[in-house]
Structure 1
Amino acid sequence: MKICIINGPNLNLLGKREPEVYGSTTFEDYFAGLQAKYPQLQLEYYQSNIEGELIDKLHEVGFNNDGIVLNAGAYTHTSVGIGDAVKGIETPVVELHISNTYTREEFRHQSYIAAGAAGLVIGFGLKGYDLALESFLR
C-alpha cells in the first residue's frame, strides 16, 4: 500500500517551532519511526511552504497512491486551490492537524479541505499521523 504524507507551510520547523504546541521532535525523526512501525506501507514524505507546489504534489500522487495524509498547515484555512485539488483527485485524503484547531484562533475553525477529505484527524499531536495511517489499513 502506497501512502504519501504531505506537509505544508512551517511544518519543516517541527521540533523547533512552538514546542509547547507541536512538540520537540522533528518530522524527519518521526517519519523514520513511522517507516519502522509500518513496514507494510510504502511511505513517501513531502513538505513545501509553497501553495502551488502542494497542489502539484497532490496532482502527482492523487491518481496512483492508495492514500494521502495532508497537513496543509495554515493553507487549510485559506486555500480554495488546495481544497479543489483534493476534490479533483481520486486518492482518498485524510486531513490532519497536530494541534486542535478548534481551541485556537477562530479563523482556524474553517477548512477548505474537509469537504473533499475522506476523514479528519485533529489535535492528537504527531500521533495523529499514526491514526491517519491506521485509517488506511482498516
Structure 2
Amino acid sequence: MTKTVHILNGPNLNLLGQRQPEIYGHETLADVETACAAVAAERGLAVKLLQSNWEGQIVDWIHAARQEAAGIIINPGALTHTSVAVLDALNAFEGPVLEVHVSNVHRRESFRQHSYVSLRAEGVIAGFGVEGYALAMRRMATLVGA
C-alpha cells in the first residue's frame, strides 16, 4: 500500500506566484504540487496537496490525516504565528510533521519569527522558495521509511 503525504497550505497561499513575487517568487501552488508529486513518485509515495484560507478547514484536514497520511508537510501561512488550534491538531497527529515557509521568516518582521507549528514539527525549511517543498518531500520520504 502506498503511503500518502499530505501537504497543507494556509491563508493566501492560493495566491502564490501572484502575491508579492519579490518575496514569494513567481511559481504557483500548482508548480509546488508538480514538484512534490515528482519527488513522491521517485520514492514510492503519494501526495495530497490542499489549501484553505480557513483555520477550521486546516484543522479538519489535520484530523483527517490521522487516518489517511503517513506524514504532513505544512505551510500554515499567517496561522504559523497565531494558531494554537493548528498546533493542537498537529499534536494529535502521530506521524512526522515538517514546516515549510517560502520566504525566510527570520529575516522579516519580528512577529513572523515566532511559530506555534515549530513546537510540533520535526524540522523547518524556510527561505528556499517553493523548492523548500520538494526538500521537505525528500526528508519526509526518509522519515516515513520510503
Q: Do both proteins adopt the same fold according to a TM-score greater than 0.5, normalized to the shorter chain?
A: yes
Q: Which residue of 1 aligns with 2:60?
A: 56
Q: Following superposition of structure 1 onto structure 2, how do residues 1-138 of structure 1 map, counting pairs within 5 Å?
A: 1-39=3-41, 40-138=44-142
How many angstroms apart in 2 are the aligned matches of 1:112 and 1:45? 21
Instruction: Note the aligned Cα RMSD (angstroms).
Output: 1.2
Deviations 1:59-102 (A, max 9, x none): 00134311110000000000111111111111211011111101
Tell me the amino acid that sits aligned with residue 4 of structure 1: H
How many angstroms apart in 1 are the aligned matches of 2:67 and 2:8? 15
How many angstroms apart in 2 are the aligned matches of 1:131 and 1:66? 17
Secondary structure at 2:32 match in 1: helix
Aligned length: 138
Tell me the amino acid that sits aligned with residue 42 of structure 1: A
Q: Is the 8 A contact 2:24 2:103 kept in 1?
A: yes
Deviation at 1:35, TM superposition (A): 1.6
Secondary structure at 1:46 match in 2: strand
Q: Is the 8 A contact 1:64 1:91 kept in 2?
A: no
How many angstroms apart in 2 are the aligned matches of 1:45 and 1:33? 11
Please identify, of 83-92 and 71-80, the stretch whose mean Cα deviation from structure 2 is larger.
83-92
Deviation at 1:107, TM superposition (A): 0.4
TM-score, normalising length: structure 1? 0.94
Q: Is the 8 A contact 1:63 1:91 kept in 2?
A: no
Please identify, of 82-91 and 49-58, the stretch whose mean Cα deviation from structure 2 is larger.
82-91
Deviation at 1:34, TM superposition (A): 2.5
Structure 1 unmatched ranges of 5 or more: none
How many angstroms apart in 1 are the aligned matches of 2:136 and 2:39? 13
Deviations 1:101-137 (A, max 9, x none): 0100000111111111111111111010011111122
How many angstroms apart in 1 are the aligned matches of 2:40 and 2:96? 19
